[in-house]
């Protein structure tokens, strides 16, 4: 592609095509916006991972056709993400169709075993997240939420505004009187 010598060509191709690919991704990100590499939804996460794979393909291209094909795929990923984000913003039905709901895993220091079983999150995973958030006692924990991206959020303190848990599924059995 660049040199007759195989070694120099491999080095130049990897370096130049990766640099061009990164500049291309930066340009697409500037056009589409910061949302391009967010992890706000599971779909955003998939696009982010796929973009990294495609960028690696751009850097490994052995000819211009392969490079351009990867560039087109990258453009398509950004375009699809842009369109889906627009539809999610304007259509509640579309939002509900493609988006998982966050799930409550712990409330007021008590584990929600039904939710943990359904989401396949182990007690040890939650405890690790509690340690990461500097929680010293279970009774400090107001809520632990498995987010749509797979991240676990730990909410602790004296008071929890109910609006913070808006849209979070609560799988606990209703208390019987």
Which letter does DSSP use for residue 143 in this model? E
Q: What is the mean pLDDT of the chain?
A: 88
Give which of 119, 113, 151, 159 is closest to 132, Cα–Cα.
151
Distance CA 122, CA 117 (A): 8
pLDDT of 150 above 90: no
Superfamily of domain 103-165: bsu07140 like domains (3.30.240.20)
Burial 58-68 (b: 16+ CB within 10 A, else e): bbebeeeeebe
pLDDT digits (tens, 9 = 90+) for 158-173: 889 999 999 899 988 6
Collapsing DSSP to helix, strand or coil, 39 comes out as: coil
Residue ranges with strand state E in the chain: 103-107, 110-111, 141-146, 152-156
Residue 143: its pLDDT value, please?
95
pLDDT digits (tens, 9 = 90+) for 12-65: 888 999 999 999 998 988 888 777 777 677 778 888 889 999 999 999 998 999
């Amino acid at each position: 592609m660049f040199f007759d010598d195989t070694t120099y060509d491999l080095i130049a191709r990897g370096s130049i095509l990766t640099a061009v690919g990164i500049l291309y991704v930066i340009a697409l990100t500037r056009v589409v916006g910061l949302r391009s590499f967010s992890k706000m939804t599971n779909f955003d996460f998939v696009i982010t991972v796929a973009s990294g794979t495609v960028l690696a393909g751009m850097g490994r291209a052995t000819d211009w056709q392969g490079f351009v094909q990867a560039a087109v795929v990258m453009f398509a990923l950004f375009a699809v993400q842009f369109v889906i984000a627009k539809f999610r913003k304007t259509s509640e039905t579309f939002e509900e169709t493609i988006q998982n709901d966050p799930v409550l895993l712990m409330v007021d220091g008590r584990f929600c075993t039904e939710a943990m079983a359904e989401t396949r999150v182990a007690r040890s995973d939650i405890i690790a997240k509690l340690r990461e958030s500097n929680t010293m006692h279970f009774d400090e924990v107001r809520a632990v939420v498995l987010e749509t991206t797979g991240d676990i959020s730990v909410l602790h303190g004296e008071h929890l505004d109910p609006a913070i848990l808006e849209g979070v599924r609560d799988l606990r059995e209703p208390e019987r009187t």
